A and B are shown apart, each in its own frame.
Chain A
């Protein structure tokens, strides 16, 4: 009996790798895994594709086969029947073509369109150094100037109004600086704010008038009721966003504070504002605010709405930022204390940057919500895009047109809101420091 020791029953060498089966790689593999993994999946996929197809096969010809050159709905309908026959449904984009500028600017004088445009460009120039870190620091001067120049460009009037308004900040800052050094930082803060408020309430008007009498400088002024369309939405949205952000931070800090009175004031304010719908606050702006202000005060409706929109958004912002503050580990606060930083230094250098980073998604969705909510002003009869849709529909030329107008307005809002949410995702990725 011989033993063949060289023969083994177990394979001793590795086999070369085989290519995966064709059905698991490439397009076929992807389709099998993602679309037809099971029978149920296959049925669902086919149903979904059918739904998507039937919607798109109607929508795409409707949108892209629409007519841009028609001056009334009847003319447009006649053209559609002439070209496509009775059975076809196409959009009448002529209404957008004809009324585009009104949807954008409302009744704003046509020869002054450059002013809102310039304001918007300045605004982006001012926002740029804040949004993107890699720009020259000098641009921050534009950011400081925009809040004063942009309203002046929009409403026009004397050049001394924005200048004196800016001087209020200068006065407040000087008082703050002087008192802080001479007596105490806390007293400096209080007196600084107080002196700025006194300047704006009592001194700004007379000083501005006096300067205007000495050196009359100004541009054509535009009344608030001529503002309209997307310009109004953007104006309300941007002021609401920029003003509600710092206000929200202050409210959030107040709510986290261990000073019981400050805390309960902030909690009361936030819960009250968050508990009522924006529309009731707009009612306050349109019919009630006159009761709360000194007799005879004339207060611009846009300004009133801006104030209400701002405090509305600030309450929501405060809650978002409070979430960020609560998510910070306690060690961060303790570390700031250990370094000997005072409250504001700790907030500015350690707490806020981290808390804000955590709350970016919430902050941006508050912004988006605020921008969408600006449409509510149509209910108190301000000429925002939705109100304009109604104006145009009541015109005999375009009586009965629905989808094109609403579709266009929805599309513009979608573009704005969608890009804001994409920007927030970009920002989150950029500031990502975890692993």
Chain B
């Protein structure tokens, strides 16, 4: 008779930390963690010693102090008496503005170029290839400074618009002025507007007293802009609300038409209804609010009125869009090419038309390939917008990482905060991307 015995229990020996694979991984981890902590401690210790030696402290109190500098482009009220914090927010909004504008323009241009590069037409596909190769093989900073230099040297100065026989004229029915200081566009205005709504107003503050009693001197009228953290235009909200309501109604009409078609087989003609519910109420609201366009006018040495798109914003926007479009074009091309030809042939065999094949068969599959790298291009564009500092566009790098850093001498705090802000933007975007990836991933096994 044989007896089954457990194998002899091994006692733990110190050398097993090195030789036994079960324990070795723990050893490696502990060593890595120790190394990391030692390194971090060393760095932090150095920082403490250096700060003490320079007589500095590490705190973010300076963010509340008055900034003392002006920002030429601002989306919310700001002046040199505002805090460094507000300057950073203004900068951040400028960053986001150029990033969003750039992403939209780059996507449109990139998709067009990418599709053109796949064209059967030899000349067109070659031109698209030349575009892609030229744009992406030259540093983006060079494009930015080049376009900035071109706009400020080659475009007419505001004084060229003056006189009876001016050297330059305004474009598109005298509404757009293209100058070396930027482009002046007509601005939407409301003669019977509803005014602004301050967000988080502190009613005790002078700014809000001026805001709620608007019949003051020009000085207090200016002050009124600073009531609350920022102000929302009620006009814009009203228009958007009506527009969205119109879109929802239009959707309801479509659903109803679908239902009727399902029940009776006859589809009622609804396109004019759908157009009408979207546009008529919106137009009515615009009319009630007294909508008109404020044209830029030459007054004194410069144009007044209208929306001023600075040449720094313009250069940054154009350069980033053109540059990123080259990469997006390649992504779109790769995405479309990744869909096997059999898919469109099968669709054709089912009797689908060319554009239906594109929209129903090829694009939905190609999007799965296209979207993830597309979003990382958006991220790249956002990060590249930090090059604004080269052309003097006041984005977050220009305000927080530029003037605030130089004025307060708080390199450590500002640069860390700057990195943190960019990191938050990036992580937000990439988590959105991961969510999209999860949703559209091919379901296998």
Contact = CB atoms under 8 A, between A and B. Distances in A.
A188 to B, nearest CB: 10
B142 A406 contact: yes
A375 B140 CA distance: 9
Given A276-B383, A372-B139, A413-B138, A291 B46 contact: yes
Contacts of A117: none
A37 B142 contact: no
Interface stretch (A8-16, A151-159, A260-268): A260-268
A275 B423 contact: yes
A414 B326 CA distance: 14
Interface in A268-309: 271-272, 274-280, 283-284, 287-288, 290-295
A259 B149 contact: no
Contacts of A187: 18
A418 B301 CA distance: 46
Give the dominant DSSP class at A's interface.
helix
A341 interface: no
A190 interface: yes
Contacts of B19: 184
- The listed residue with most A CB atoms (<10 A of its CB), out of B119, B141, B427, is B141
Interface stretch (A40-48, A103-111, A211-219): A40-48
B29 interface: yes
- The listed residue with most B CB atoms (<10 A of its CB), out of A33, A274, A280, is A280
Contact of A262 (B28, B149, B386): B28
Nearest to A393: B149
A41 B121 contact: yes
Interface string B375-403: 00000000110110110000001000100
B346 interface: no
Nearest to B154: A402
- The listed residue with most A CB atoms (<10 A of its CB), out of B25, B47, B387, B415, is B415
B234 interface: no
A280 B121 CA distance: 44
Nearest to A37: B120
Contacts of A74: none
A89 to B, nearest CB: 11
Contacts of A321: none
B29 A260 contact: yes
A339 interface: no
B50 interface: yes
Given A187-B18, A402-B150, A280 B397 contact: yes
Interface residues of B, number: 59
A279 B386 CA distance: 7
Contacts of B153: 400, 402
A260 B29 CA distance: 8
Nearest to A389: B145
A274 B418 CA distance: 14
A48 B128 CA distance: 10
B43 interface: yes
Given A291-B412, A368-B137, A279 B389 contact: yes
Interface stretch (B31-39, B68-76, B236-244, B437-445): B31-39
A418 B386 contact: no
A378 B142 CA distance: 11
B43 A283 contact: no
Nearest to A390: B145
B47 A291 contact: yes
- The listed residue with most B CB atoms (<10 A of its CB), out of A288, A373, A413, is A288
A379 interface: yes
Contact of A51 (B24, B25, B127): B127
Contacts of A274: 426
B415 A48 contact: no
B124 A276 contact: no
Contacts of B411: 283, 287-288, 291
A186 B47 contact: no
Contacts of B121: 34-35, 37, 41, 44-45, 48
Contact of A410 (B146, B384, B386): B146
A43 to B, nearest CB: 10
A290 B120 contact: no
B46 A34 contact: no
A389 B150 CA distance: 14
A410 B142 contact: yes
B47 A375 contact: no
Interface string B134-176: 1011111110011001100100000000000000000000000
Contacts of B141: 375-376, 378-379, 386
B149 A295 contact: no
A3 interface: no
A423 B90 CA distance: 45
Contacts of A293: 46
A292 B43 contact: yes
B122 A34 contact: yes
Given A45-B124, A259-B32, A283-B418, A413 B142 contact: yes
Nearest to A297: B46
B280 interface: no
B145 A406 contact: yes
B27 interface: yes
Contact of B387 (A34, A183, A368, A376): A376
B84 to A, nearest CB: 17
- The listed residue with most B CB atoms (<10 A of its CB), out of A35, A49, A292, is A292
B427 A280 contact: no
A291 B44 CA distance: 9
Interface in A351-389: 368, 372-373, 375-376, 378-379, 386, 389
B146 A406 contact: yes
Interface in B82-141: 119-124, 127, 133-134, 136-141
A52 interface: yes
Nearest to B45: A294
A347 interface: no
Nearest to B386: A277
Given A184-B18, A186-B18, A291-B50, A283 B142 contact: no
A259 B29 contact: yes
A1 to B, nearest CB: 50
12 contacts: A35-B121, A35-B122, A259-B25, A274-B426, A283-B418, A295-B50, A368-B137, A372-B139, A372-B140, A379-B387, A406-B146, A406-B149
Would you list the 6 A-B pairs with minimal beta carbon distance, nearest first? A275-B426, A417-B137, A277-B383, A372-B139, A34-B122, A184-B18
Given A378-B141, A406-B142, 19 more contacts: A34-B121, A35-B121, A35-B122, A41-B121, A48-B127, A261-B29, A261-B32, A271-B427, A272-B423, A274-B426, A276-B383, A276-B423, A277-B383, A280-B401, A283-B411, A291-B412, A379-B390, A400-B153, A421-B137
